């Protein structure tokens, strides 16, 4: 497994809001610090961060808060995905001034577009962006799958440094790692929760788990165990993280799972439960079930041999 500029555990952060919908900078700082002290890097304004619902004027507030709260040795990532070209470029330029390290963008999703248009879009975006660019493939929200051949062609652009792939396709994952795991200039990051450990064992450079908002320590430990060759312990840790994921994801649409994730973060004292429209907070009955399951699992984790190493905030 080669050393690359970009990799490790990158946590796609939730965006905390006050009850009136404003960015809760205090809570966001808490979450960033929680992630960073557990040797993970923060990524704001992605899918988990409700970026499609946030006023574009608030993007800078979120990015500034992240950079201010992150340690100097942490890499910071921010989303510039938009159907509006000028917005994406303007954000990239503002992020550079703030001190963000890299930007992430999925394709425009409103109009169906051809493979050739996807290719040209990223080429132009890479040329215009003052920051290194990650391609973001997430068919669940864009309804577009970026072909690996297109990604490979784009991977040779000097300002395109990697892909964050959230497509649930094992054959695609295998082919991706065959193509890029040995490349020192292009990083593969996986956002498919169920296959994170498997991807690392096969040579992926990093993982992007939404559950890292809750368990950054477990993901960092899992990543470390993979790097040191302890496959058995890595798989054990991944099984635990997957159980945390199931608490808020199982049987829910993405929009409902993100509201459930905030219930869990609220229980840890990291942020409130507020979400932006069209999301809606879960009712108290559903929240109580989530909290009970979470408390029981935390107790179970703390009884493991590595429990003494874990701090939950």
List, for residues 122-160, the tens digit of each pLDDT value.
999 999 999 999 999 999 999 999 999 999 999 999 999
Long-range pairs of 246-253 with CB within 8 A, sequence gap ≥ 24: 247/290, 247/293, 247/294, 247/297, 248/290, 249/193
- Angle, vertex CA 171, rays to CA 189 and CA 183, nearest 5: 40
CA 290 – CA 14 distance, rounded (Å): 17
Range of the domain at 31: 8-228
Q: What is the CATH number of the domain that holds 49?
A: 3.20.20.70
State the chain's mean pLDDT as an integer: 96
Residue 307: inside a domain: no
CA 145 – CA 153 distance, rounded (Å): 15
Residue 109: inside a domain: yes
Residue 269: inside a domain: no
Residue 238: inside a domain: no
Residue 304: inside a domain: no
Residue 177: inside a domain: yes
Task: Compute the chain's Rg from CA coordinates.
Answer: 18
Q: Are 34 and 69 in contact (CB under 8 A)?
A: no
Residues 3-43: tens digit of each pLDDT: 799 999 999 999 999 999 999 999 999 999 999 999 999 99
Nearest to 15 by CA among 275, 254, 209, 287: 275
Residue 178: inside a domain: yes
Residue 308 has pLDDT above 70, yes or no: no
Q: Which residues pair with 103 in a beta bridge?
A: 78, 133
Residue 2 has pLDDT above 60, yes or no: no
CA atoms within 13 A on the CB side of 12: 27
pLDDT value for 1: 42
pLDDT value for 310: 78
The residue to which tokens 């809570």 are assigned: 27
CA 166 – CA 149 distance, rounded (Å): 17
Residue 224: inside a domain: yes
Q: Omega of the bond prior to 278 within 30 degrees of 0, cis?
A: yes
CA 262 – CA 284 distance, rounded (Å): 13
Helix segments in 70-144, DSSP class H: 85-98, 115-128, 139-142
Determine the average pLDDT of the residues in 41-48.
98
Q: How many domains does the chain have?
A: 1
DSSP, residue by residue, 126-177: HHH-SS-EEEEE-HHHHS----HHHHHHHTTSTTEEEEEE----HHHHHHHH
């Amino acid at each position: 497994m080669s050393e690359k500029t970009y990799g490790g555990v990158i946590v796609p952060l939730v965006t905390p809001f006050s009850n009136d919908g404003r960015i809760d900078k205090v809570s966001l700082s808490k979450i960033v610090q929680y992630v960073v002290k557990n040797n993970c890097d923060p990524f704001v304004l992605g899918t988990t961060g409700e970026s499609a619902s946030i006023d574009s004027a608030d993007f800078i507030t979120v990015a500034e808060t992240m950079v201010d709260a992150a340690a100097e040795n942490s890499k910071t990532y921010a989303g510039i995905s938009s159907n509006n070209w000028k917005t994406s470029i303007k954000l990239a330029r503002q992020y550079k001034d703030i001190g963000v390290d890299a930007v992430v963008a999925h394709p425009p999703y409103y109009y169906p577009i051809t493979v050739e248009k996807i290719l040209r879009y990223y080429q132009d975006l890479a040329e215009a962006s003052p920051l290194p660019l990650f391609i973001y493939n997430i068919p669940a929200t864009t309804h577009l799958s970026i072909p690996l051949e297109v990604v490979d062609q784009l991977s040779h652009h000097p300002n395109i440094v990697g892909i964050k792939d959230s497509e649930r396709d094992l054959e695609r994952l295998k082919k991706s790692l065959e193509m890029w795991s040995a490349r020192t200039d292009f990083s593969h990051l996986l956002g498919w929760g169920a296959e994170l450990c498997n991807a690392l064992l096969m040579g992926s450079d990093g993982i992007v788990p939404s559950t890292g908002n809750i368990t950054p320590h477990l993901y960092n430990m899992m990543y470390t165990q993979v790097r040191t060759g302890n496959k058995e312990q890595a798989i054990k840790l991944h099984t635990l993280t997957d159980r945390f994921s199931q608490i808020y994801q199982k049987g829910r649409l993405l929009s409902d799972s993100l509201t459930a994730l905030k219930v869990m973060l609220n229980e840890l004292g990291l942020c409130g439960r507020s979400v932006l429209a069209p999301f809606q907070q879960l009712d108290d009955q559903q929240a109580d079930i989530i909290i009970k399951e979470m408390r029981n699992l935390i107790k179970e984790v703390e009884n493991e041999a590595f429990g003494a190493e874990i701090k939950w905030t």
